[in-house]
Chain A
Amino acid sequence: MKKEEHKTGIFIIVALIILAVCLGIIIFRVQYLLLARDQVDTSARTYDRYYAFITSDDSDFWEEVYESARDYGENYDVYVEKFGSDLSAGYGEAERIEIAVASGVDGIIAEGAPKSALKKALKKADAAGIPVVLVGEDMRAVPRISFVGVGQYDLGEMYGVQAAAISKKLLNSKDKVRITVLSSSAKPGEGEKLIISAIRKVISSDEDLYGRASVDLYPIGDDGLFSSQETVYDFLMEKDVPDVVIALTEELTVSTYQAVVDLNLAGVVNIIGSHDSDAIKSAIKNEVIYSSVATDTTQYGEYATYALEEYLKTGNVSEYFAVDNIVLDVPTLMSEDES
């Protein structure tokens, strides 16, 4: 009898434990799920200032620059937003600047371009008392507080040195070498003109190349949707393809590389590209791209945010911040991998 009572007692205790565990699971789980919703809100952070980062495209290059600018801003209680990039309507750069102005941002980082709409938008920003830092390309007669970019002439010289090295190798087997510079705009801006000028200077000043290597410009343009890639393809399908192609943007570099592979022109057309994306690095290692001139995107973004911060704090800022460039070729990438 006692034994049975003991068993019953154990059974009741076990049953109560199971019940308690079940109830515990429900309470825990439901509370957890409900709290999980609220926690999304609590993790949000607020900032003191708000800058708009506006460029003409969403290339990896500008993405890297933006991330650098944003990360730098985090340290100064600044939120840098890639403004209007996720809006459903495909607004151009000028429109997005106008939206930023209407939104009352504290500063604007915008990519410069010789466009009147952009100028107009930037003037509106100035009228609203919003400081603007230009990146990529500087613009004249525009009320900007600073410009952050690479030294175009220095950049041109770097392209020129790379082009000269390839040309010399090619002249061992042929009489003349043709170097074509692909620019992203239909009408070259001041920066592009400076780059071409520097390339020509380097080529012409080399005795081995004098009179045997020519440098010309092929404006690809960015007016139509997907037009640049198609234009590059058409260009390389022409009968007389250049020996060396210098692509001045990341997009042009990838488009040229892809066209060379597709048209079986590897070894015929030597590419000197821009930027250091993984795809470009991979192409250099595969020796489809000879080399690439990459800009320090981290420095780029940091300078842009810093320029606005400095201006808002002190009312003054340096007019120009030069960003460093480096040449990426097979040996440098190999040593980078080794390190």
Chain B
Amino acid sequence: MIERIENSSIGKKLLFIYAITSVVVLMLNIFVFVNINRLVKELDSVFLTNINIGEFSSSLDKVHTQMLGYLNTKSTDDIYGYYEAYQEYETQISLLSDEISSQSTKRMERNIRSMSENYLLLTENAIDAKRGRNIEKYRNYYEQANELYGYLKTYINNLNNEYFKNNSADYLTLSDSLGYVEFINMFVFVTVSTVSIILVIILANRVTRPLKSLADVAEKVAEGNYNVTVQPVKTMDEIGVLNAAFDRMLTGIKQGILMEMKLREAELKTLQAQINPHFLFNTLNAGAQLAMMEGADRTYAYVQAVADFYRYNVKKTDAPVTLADEIQMVDTYIYILNIRFSGDVGYEKHIEEGIEDVMMPTMTLQPIVENAVNHGIREIMGEGRIVITAENDGAECVIRISDNGRGLTKKQVDDIMHRRTRMKDEHGGIGLRNVMERLFLMFGREDVFEVESDGPDMGTTVTLRLPKDGNLALEDMEQGGDESIVSDNDM
């Protein structure tokens, strides 16, 4: 039962507290009401005997008056009145005690009853004698009846006094009881109210204590102190649920922070790793300057081209660049290749004017060209040729990178288009798939990249359809990229 209450909702708990105190107070009220009601009823009936005696005395008076009236006037009304009063009095006599009791009131009742019976007999005799016009007799009976009437009145008066005395004592007792009940009532009300208040405070504390503890923990967390522990709550009410949820949330935050710290650490390591390329292209720059100073112009141009290539590579790949930058990068790459491989790669570019500023992700064209060199033209017998065309096509800028290399089968084209190739190529480049994914992600559509080939030894063409109207994603990236560039330069 207690466990059920413990696990019930706060609303139910409060309802339980209220119900318990209400039931106790209600029961108390009912009890006090019943007792007071009973006492009041007793009080009402205390002087009932006096009232009855009063009625009895009036009845006796009536008999006497009617008898006297009849004896005086012999009126029919009086005789009827007499019989009526006689009957009423007789009925009342029968209600009196006829016991010889040690109780004085009962003995008095008995005496009154006997005297009344004698009295009624005398009045009856007097009436009869009056009817018979026996004056002496009815006078005699009347005198006797009158004498008895006097005694009866005295007795009735005494009985009334006696009852009044007893009833007054009863009244005082009941009055005392009422006072006592009132006092106890007040005492119990105060006690029960105090107990109820304390009970409510204790139970309310039990309900709110975990909430307060939770609030303290939340406050500390808000201040940045995550090294806190949430006190476990046994109950399964809203606070229990909230507590458990907060605990889980805190654990999550702690894990997140840990992960972020690790990420930062990894980032730091990455930056540290980037020092080497920087060192490399700075060294190359120094080498280029040395070559220039020594007058070795070709060496200077070559070293400078290598240095440019690495500088471009070191740039954050998320930063967007212009088409002109990308073409420049391809030019540099082809130049380096041709120096390395003694002019094996034929290279043409046809760039329509006015589209040089079209923005695109960095390192887009160079990987495609690198792919064309490595997989397309390197192993062919004749001269390998790479052609780059860039032209306006309405809202788009269409860039095609074609080679006359080994070409691709239909399956290979499908594999590339469905991104079933590896992320990086075997030569450590960024890889075609990577380029595709970045383009899809940045432009939000898949028709931005297309690979075509008429079959083996028929060459390959990669077509890029870049929207000219700029792209919000790209602009955003540009801003982010600038920041990255700044940070790179800082290095």
Complexed CA–CA distance, A91 and B150 (Å): 11
Interface centre among B100, B101, B106, B192 (most CB of A within 10 A): B100
Say which residue of A8, A18, A30, A88 sits within 8 Å of B177 (CB atoms): A30
Q: Is B188 a contact of A22 with CB atoms below 8 Å?
A: yes
Q: Is A18 a contact of B110 with CB atoms below 8 Å?
A: no
Q: Is B188 a contact of A23 with CB atoms below 8 Å?
A: yes
Complexed CA–CA distance, A8 and B5 (Å): 15
Given contacts A29-B184, A86-B104, A95-B151, 15 further A-B contacts (CB under 8 A): A11-B198, A19-B24, A19-B195, A22-B188, A23-B188, A26-B181, A30-B35, A34-B177, A37-B42, A41-B103, A49-B100, A86-B158, A87-B155, A87-B158, A99-B111
Q: Is A103 a contact of B114 with CB atoms below 8 Å?
A: yes
Which residues of A does B touch, CB under 8 Å?
1, 4, 8, 11-12, 15, 18-19, 22-23, 25-26, 29-30, 33-34, 36-37, 40-41, 44-50, 79, 81, 86-89, 91, 95, 98-99, 102-104
Which residues of B does A touch, CB under 8 Å?
24, 28, 31-32, 35, 38-39, 42, 99-104, 106-107, 110-111, 114-115, 118-119, 147-148, 151, 154-155, 157-158, 161, 166, 170, 173-174, 176-177, 180-181, 184-185, 187-188, 191-192, 195, 198-199, 202, 206, 234
Q: Is B199 a contact of A15 with CB atoms below 8 Å?
A: yes
Q: Is A79 a contact of B100 with CB atoms below 8 Å?
A: yes
Complexed CA–CA distance, A12 and B206 (Å): 14
Q: Is A19 a contact of B191 with CB atoms below 8 Å?
A: yes
Q: Is B173 a contact of A88 with CB atoms below 8 Å?
A: no
Q: Is A26 a contact of B206 with CB atoms below 8 Å?
A: no
Q: Which residues of A contact B173 (CB under 8 A)?
A: 33, 36-37
Complexed CA–CA distance, A11 and B173 (Å): 37
Q: Is A79 a contact of B102 with CB atoms below 8 Å?
A: yes
B208 to chain A, nearest CB (A): 14
B399 to chain A, nearest CB (A): 72
Complexed CA–CA distance, A89 and B191 (Å): 56
Say which residue of B99, B185, B195, B198 sits within 8 Å of A46 (CB atoms): B99
Q: Which residues of B contact A8 (CB under 8 A)?
A: 202, 206
Q: Which residues of A contact B202 (CB under 8 A)?
A: 8, 11
The residue of chain B having its C-beta at the shortest distance from the C-beta of A49 within the complex is B100
Minimum-distance CB pairs A-B, first 8: A103-B111, A104-B114, A44-B103, A15-B195, A47-B100, A33-B177, A50-B100, A89-B154
Complexed CA–CA distance, A79 and B111 (Å): 13
Q: Is B199 a contact of A44 with CB atoms below 8 Å?
A: no
Query: At the interface, is chain B mostly helix, strand, loop or mixed?
Result: helix
The residue of chain A having its C-beta at the shortest distance from the C-beta of B166 within the complex is A40
Q: Given known contacts A8-B206, A46-B101, is B181 in contact with A30 (CB within 8 Å)?
A: yes
Complexed CA–CA distance, A40 and B166 (Å): 10
Q: Which residues of A contact B115 (CB under 8 A)?
A: 99, 102-103
Say which residue of A1, A79, A86, A102 sits within 8 Å of B114 (CB atoms): A102
Say which residue of B35, B102, B118, B166 sits within 8 Å of A26 (CB atoms): B35
Say which residue of A37, A48, A81 sits within 8 Å of B170 (CB atoms): A37
A-B contact pairs, 28 of them (CB 8 A): A4-B206, A8-B202, A18-B195, A19-B24, A19-B188, A19-B191, A23-B31, A25-B184, A26-B181, A26-B185, A29-B177, A29-B184, A30-B177, A33-B174, A34-B42, A37-B173, A37-B174, A44-B101, A46-B99, A46-B102, A47-B101, A50-B100, A81-B107, A86-B158, A89-B154, A99-B151, A99-B155, A103-B114
Q: Is A44 a contact of B184 with CB atoms below 8 Å?
A: no
Complexed CA–CA distance, A88 and B114 (Å): 19
Complexed CA–CA distance, A79 and B234 (Å): 80
Q: Which residues of B contact A88 (CB under 8 A)?
A: 154, 157-158, 161
Interface centre among A37, A102, A103, A104 (most CB of B within 10 A): A102
A288 to chain B, nearest CB (A): 39
